[in-house]
Amino acid sequence: MKNQKGKVYLVGAGPGDCDLMTVRSQKLLSQAEVLIYDALVDIPQLELIPVSCLKIEVGKRGGKPSTQQQEINRLLVEHCHRGKQVVRLKSGDPFIFGRSSSEIQALKAADCDFEVIPGISSAFAAPLLAGIPITDPVMSRCFAVMSAHEPDALEWEALVKIETLVILMGGRNLGEIVWQLQKHGLSSQTPIAIIRDCGRPEQQIWLGTLFNIVQKTSCESLSPCVIIIGEVVRLREYLMQPEITSKIDVPVSNNSQLPLAGNTILVTRAASQSGQFADRLQEQGARAIEMPALVIGPPSCWEALDSAIAQLSTFHWLILTSHNAVDCFFQRLQAKGKDARSLFGIKIAVVGKKTAESLRSHSLQPDFIPPNFVADSLVENFPWEGGHGGTAPTNCKILFPRVESGGREVLVKEFTAKGAQVIEVPAYQSCCPKTIDPIALAALQNRAVNIITFASSKTVQNFCKLIAQSPELSGSQDWLENVCIASIGPETSKSCYDLLGKLDVEAQEYTLDGLNEAIVQWVAKNQR
């Protein structure tokens, strides 16, 4: 994204946590050559910055020496003229109580290219995260957002007529705010909420009225905070979890108590498959970064699968060993004008709970699931005539749709030895992405990743290929020293040992749920 002249991006960092930044903001951070950032920007956001990026803090801190706006403008222009991609990272949204206008004027005067990237303002995020709606069909048909940095400059007589007030930068002037509102006619029983550090693990809320809120917070440091005033505050008790609403003056978001809190976990599954697993990790307090190490696509030729579909009635068993195999097989079945009814009389064996769930989504139940969710277990426990140690019945014909290249041969080899005719056909191809995700790369370069998860041998192989493309990482494996390598099962573990030289966690149950549980146990044991 670098060009000869350079460019400045005025980026909104959102209220705090990286997860509350826009995707575009995260990507720009991961590609920044110069970062000029505010004091309130969350530190984990800086982990997204490339190691080579020049970082300049220019935050304005109350009561402390701060960088003059003129100097900030000069820095932006200077680095832009040097041909750099400059990110000016601002808390919240760049245009809400920021000084973006001054910076844009300076950039325009210097003929600098720039772009403004919106962010989520704490004015909207804080009430939401505290369970307070700032509008309501009955209680609040409008609201006003203001800064109370200079209370004397506000039109209090007009403000008291607005149903909901959202006040930023008002922590130091809470007493003045309360006094002015009551002076101009607002009832002392008007509800008020104060949210400090919204969107962060240490988020905290105080509830009260104009009558008692100053006393309730007299010994507290309230900055940075968002103040919400109006009847909508009362709605919180109906909209939040009972165990949360019963608590006042305690963290609303107690992420520090979650089992994976404080860990950044890299998820290497295919982009289309990683979301649910990443969401589960984040629900347990982790910061999940997706680094797709697989791209799922069609096989190089459909001929073999199409021929098998045309002869489905000749098969006795259909074996599906992955979610990808299920989806790709049924997509092709549909493309050929057929559906699940075409499988009448054919038994279906699957490997793993997730594969079984995928099959059930097509209104079919598996006839056999091995006790352990690996191909070896399917081979060892397959229900042949005469039991597990038996042989295939005469003329037994098995259809095995699979990945086009890179899969293991144990199933075909062993079933053939049992006397079965195994027809293996490519149903999909799994390839290595061309480039490493920039956010994941920045996190690895900054040694910000604690745990890397692998759900297949192929993801380990492709991960290593992608790492080899990065000079900052490929030169040595020092970046792996304090990183936990977590595997879904034995074959994946073997690839971790062979290619990465280490393994820290292996799931006891060879599923994503099992992998998640193994990671939780490892964290509990090693990070106390």
Q: Is 136 left (phi over 0), alpha (psi -120 to 50) or beta?
A: beta
In single-letter form, the type of residue at position 365 comes to Q
Q: Six-digit token pair at 404?
A: 């086009």
pLDDT higher than threshold 50 for residue 342: yes
413 three-class SS:
helix
Catalytic hit among 169, 354, 418, 437: 169
CA 141 to chain centre: 34
pLDDT higher than threshold 80 for residue 518: yes
| 498 belongs to the catalytic site | no
In single-letter form, the type of residue at position 29 comes to L
Catalytic hit among 7, 17, 27, 38: 38
CB 452 within 8 A of CB 486: yes
| 60 belongs to the catalytic site | yes
pLDDT higher than threshold 90 for residue 178: yes
CA distance 430 to 256: 38
CB 40 within 8 A of CB 59: yes
CA distance 89 to 58: 10
Catalytic hit among 60, 216, 336, 338: 60
Residue-level length of the chain: 528
Grade residue 249 by pLDDT with cuts at 50, 70 and 90: very low
CA distance 256 to 285: 7
Question: What CATH class has 124-253?
Answer: alpha beta
**Residue 247's pLDDT is what?**
38
Q: Is 201 left (phi over 0), alpha (psi -120 to 50) or beta?
A: alpha
Residues 6+ apart with CB under 8 A from 412: 400, 422, 424
CA distance 132 to 123: 12
CA distance 35 to 165: 34
CATH topology for the 264-294+433-526 domain: Rossmann fold (3.40.50)
Q: What CATH number should be reported for the domain whose range is 297-431?
A: 3.40.50.10090
Q: Six-digit token pair at 463?
A: 């991960």
In single-letter form, the type of residue at position 328 comes to C
CA distance 35 to 296: 36
pLDDT higher than threshold 60 for residue 244: no
Q: Read out DSSP for 28-44?
A: HHHT-SEEEE-TTS-HH
**Residue 479's pLDDT is what?**
83
CA distance 4 to 83: 5
Q: Is 501 left (phi over 0), alpha (psi -120 to 50) or beta?
A: left
Q: Six-digit token pair at 246?
A: 């019963």
Q: What is the mean pLDDT of residues 296-304?
A: 93
User: Domain map of the chain by residue range?
Assistant: 7-120, 124-253, 264-294+433-526, 297-431
In tens, the pLDDT along 470-502 reads 887 877 778 888 899 999 999 999 999 999 999
For the ranges 288-292, 432-436, 477-481, 499-503, which has the lowest average pLDDT? 477-481
Q: Six-digit token pair at 241?
A: 């979890």
Grade residue 437 by pLDDT with cuts at 50, 70 and 90: confident
Cα within 13 Å of Cα(283), Cβ side: 7
CB 228 within 8 A of CB 195: yes
β pairing state of 484-487 and 164-168 = unpaired
Task: Give Dmax over CA atoms of the chain in angstroms.
Answer: 94
Could you check whether 7-120 and 124-253 share the same CATH topology? no
| Nearest alpha carbon to residue 179 among 207, 203, 160 | 160
| 367 belongs to the catalytic site | no
pLDDT higher than threshold 60 for residue 3: no
CA distance 444 to 327: 32
Q: Six-digit token pair at 454?
A: 């692998």
**Residue 392's pLDDT is what?**
79
Backbone φ and ψ of 75, nearest 5°:
-60, -45
Q: Six-digit token pair at 20?
A: 């509350």
Q: In terms of DSSP H, where are the helices of 189-311?
A: 213-216, 236-239, 242-245, 275-283, 303-310
Question: How much is the CA Rg of the chain, to the nearest whole Å?
Answer: 29
Tell me what percent of the residues of the chain surpass a pLDDT of 70: 91
Residues 6+ apart with CB under 8 A from 307: 425
Paired residues of 9 in beta bridges: 87, 115
7-120: which CATH number, 3.40.50.300, 3.40.1010.10, 3.30.230.10, 3.10.20.30? 3.40.1010.10
pTM above 0.95, yes or no: no
β pairing state of 7-12 and 204-209 = unpaired
CA distance 336 to 196: 58
Q: Six-digit token pair at 296?
A: 């799922």
390 three-class SS:
coil
CA distance 161 to 438: 49
For the ranges 118-122, 376-380, 458-462, which has the lowest average pLDDT? 376-380
C-alpha distances in Å from residue 105, one per residue of 102, 171, 277: 5, 31, 45
